[in-house]
Structure formats: structure tokens, C-alpha cells
Amino acid sequence: MKKKKVWKTKSSLADKIFVVCNTVFLAAFVVVTLYPVLNTVALSFNDGIDAVRGGIHLIPRKFTLQNYKTVFNQQNIITGAYISVARTVLGTILALATNSLLAYVVSRKRFIFRSQLSLFWVVTMYVNGGMIPTLILYRNLGLTNSFWVYIIPGMIGAFNMLVMRTYMEGLPDGLEESAQIDGAGDFRIFVSIISPLCKPVYATVALFVAVGQWNSWFDAMLYNRMASQYTTLQYELMKLLSSVMQQSGSANPGSTTAVAAVTPVTVRAAATVATMLPIICLYPFLQRYFVTGMTIGSVKE
């Protein structure tokens, strides 16, 4: 408040120019960010043949719900939606349970293998086997062509663990000590003392994991290409979109991709909107959680 007053009385010409430029820049930023999304929404409600004429910006010209009907009548998209929801829910719950327990173990100052276990996981952030050895491992473990490949391998991640650990280390030691005096074991302390206090950081990690699960498509393509019953919404959307994308570079007719029957731009828009809708509806309300998470995660690494 005080600062504002000072600025108002002292604002020089240069400062005024700065404010104008800044406002213009940020307004442009907002337009560039929002326009493509809103344009997709407008297209999704527009008649398919009409849309070919172009010129649709923010408002549909010929309103219809037909695109959404087409999308939701496709069996593969329905299957994909079910699998996507299932992997998001189950994946998030399991990731939360395991990462929090690991973070608890690593954040116990009295634990004798604390630093070794911590290092063991931090290393995984920098070194990994790469795409092919991982693929072969999953094949040998029977994880390919299976729903569990979405859940088990990525369950524990060093980054999420570190975010939780940092938060737990910030809790007062006295809590744990008094619980120990009362005779509570570690499991009990974890469940009844520490976890209730960690709700904000749990929410943060749950958000990260859930968004990652929902948006993931490469695992469906790499590991479950042959198992259409385990396809995901994003992967189905990708198939829909890529059939068109390949066309823009299709000056070479003998290209490797068999061009599928091109889906009208409006139907693609409807599928896109359906896929991003859950996230768009939820993320504004979860802001404070991911802001804390990002800040903890990058400061303490």
C-alpha cells in the first residue's frame, strides 16, 4: 500500500512508459496463451463442413453438438477414457502411498541408513538405462501389453520423494519424540502424526502425479501398442491428430504413413477439448499446491 503511494507521487515519464509497455506485453501474453485454446473450443462447437471455410475465431459460426456426439460414439475413445481415469486414480493413490512412506523413512534423522537410501534415490534422477533396456526389462517382467505398466514402473520417483522429504524435515522433531515416548512405532507415527500434517505437500505431489498420468501417451504407444484394450485417451487423441499432421508434410505421396481417413478439424477439436476439460476445470483451484511444490522442489535439490 505504502509503496503504491510512493510510486504514484514519484512516477516519472520513464516509469509511465514502462507501465504501458509492461501492460501491453502481458496482455499480448494472455492473448497468445488463451487464443489457441478458445479457438479450439469454438471449432469443437462448429459445423464440420462450415469450418472448412475458415475464419472461425472465438465464437462458433454454425453451432452444433454433432462433433461431441461423434467423439463419444467411438468405442476406442470410450475405452481410452476409462483407462485414463483408472490409471490416474490408481496411479496417484499408489504413488502417494509409496513416495510418502519413502520420504518418511528418508527424513528420520535417527535412521542409520538415512543418507545411503537418500543417495540411492537421488542417483536415479541423473542416470537411467534409456529407452531400449527399459523396454526389454518391462517385456521380461511381463509388464508390456498390460495395464500395470502405467502404474508400477513410475510409482516412486526421486523428485516427488524429495519434495515430500523436504516438507517432513521442516516439521518439529518434538512431535515424533513425544509419540515415541508414548510407545508409538514408526508405522503409527507415519500414519497418525506425520501424514495428517503433510496434507499440503501430499496434495502437491498428488497433483503432479495425476497430471502426469492423465497426460502421458508415450507409454501407451511404446508398451501397449498391441493391446487396444489398454489404450489411453491421449494416445487415441494422438492417433486422431497425427493422421492430419502427416498430411501437411505430404508433398511426398509415397511417405511411410498410411494416411487414415482424415477426421474433420471440428471432431479433432471436440476430442481435444474433451481431453483437456478435466484439467482446465481443476487447475485454477489447485494453484497454491503446485506453487508450494515447485518452490520446495527447486530450492532443495
Instruction: Identify residues 236-295 at the interface with other proteins (CB under 8 A).
Output: 237-238, 241-242, 244-246, 248-252, 255-256, 265, 268-269, 272, 275-276, 279-280, 283-284, 287, 290-291, 294-295
| Segment 65 to 94, residues that bind other proteins, using CB under 8 A | none
User: What minimum distance in Å lies between the beta carbon of 199 and other proteins?
Assistant: 21
Partners of 46 in the β-ladder: 63
Among the listed ranges 60-68, 105-113, 166-174, 192-200, the one in contact with other proteins (CB under 8 A) is: 105-113
Among the listed ranges 53-61, 68-76, 85-93, 191-199, the one in contact with other proteins (CB under 8 A) is: 53-61
Between the alpha carbon of residue 206 and those of residues 88, 147, 161, 289, the distances in Å are: 10, 20, 12, 10
| Segment 23 to 52, residues that bind other proteins, using CB under 8 A | 25-26, 29-30, 32-37, 39-40, 43
Nearer CB in complex with other proteins: 64/215: 215
Q: Does 179 bind other proteins (CB under 8 A)?
A: no
Q: Which of 101, 151, 163, 206 binds other proteins (CB under 8 A)?
A: 101
User: What minimum distance in Å lies between the beta carbon of 98 and other proteins?
Assistant: 8
User: What minimum distance in Å lies between the beta carbon of 21 and other proteins?
Assistant: 9
User: What minimum distance in Å lies between the beta carbon of 153 and other proteins?
Assistant: 5
Residue with cell 509409496: 98
- Three-state SS across the chain? CHHHHHHHHHCCHHHHHHHHHHHHHHHHHHHHHHHHHHHHHHHHCECHHHHCCCCCCCCCCCECCHHHHHHHCCHHHHHHHHHHHHHHHHHHHHHHHHHHHHHHHHHCCCCCCHHHHHHHHHHHHHCCCCHHHHHHHHHHCCCCCCHHHHCCCCCCCHHHHHHHHHHHHCCCHHHHHHHHHCCCCHHHHHHHHHHHHCHHHHHHHHHHHHHHHHHCCHHHHHHCCCCHHHCCHHHHHHHHHHHHHHHHCCCCCCCCCCCCCCCCHHHHHHHHHHHHHHHHHHHHHHHHHHHHHHHHHHHCC
Q: Which amino acid is at 139?
A: R
Kindly determine how many residues on this chain lie close enough to bind other proteins according to the rule CB under 8 A: 99
Among the listed ranges 5-13, 60-68, 168-176, 192-200, the one in contact with other proteins (CB under 8 A) is: 5-13
Nearer CB in complex with other proteins: 202/213: 213
Q: Does 142 bind other proteins (CB under 8 A)?
A: no
Q: Which of 49, 65, 97, 136 binds other proteins (CB under 8 A)?
A: 136
Q: Does 172 bind other proteins (CB under 8 A)?
A: no
Binding mask 216-235 for other proteins (x = CB under 8 A): xxx---x-----------x-
Q: How far apart are CA 38 and CA 233, in angstroms?
A: 21
Nearest residue to 150 (alpha-carbon basis) of 197, 75, 218, 245: 218
Q: Which of 126, 174, 182, 261 binds other proteins (CB under 8 A)?
A: 126
Nearer CB in complex with other proteins: 171/238: 238
User: What minimum distance in Å lies between the beta carbon of 7 and other proteins?
Assistant: 7
Q: Does 102 bind other proteins (CB under 8 A)?
A: yes
Nearer CB in complex with other proteins: 111/147: 111
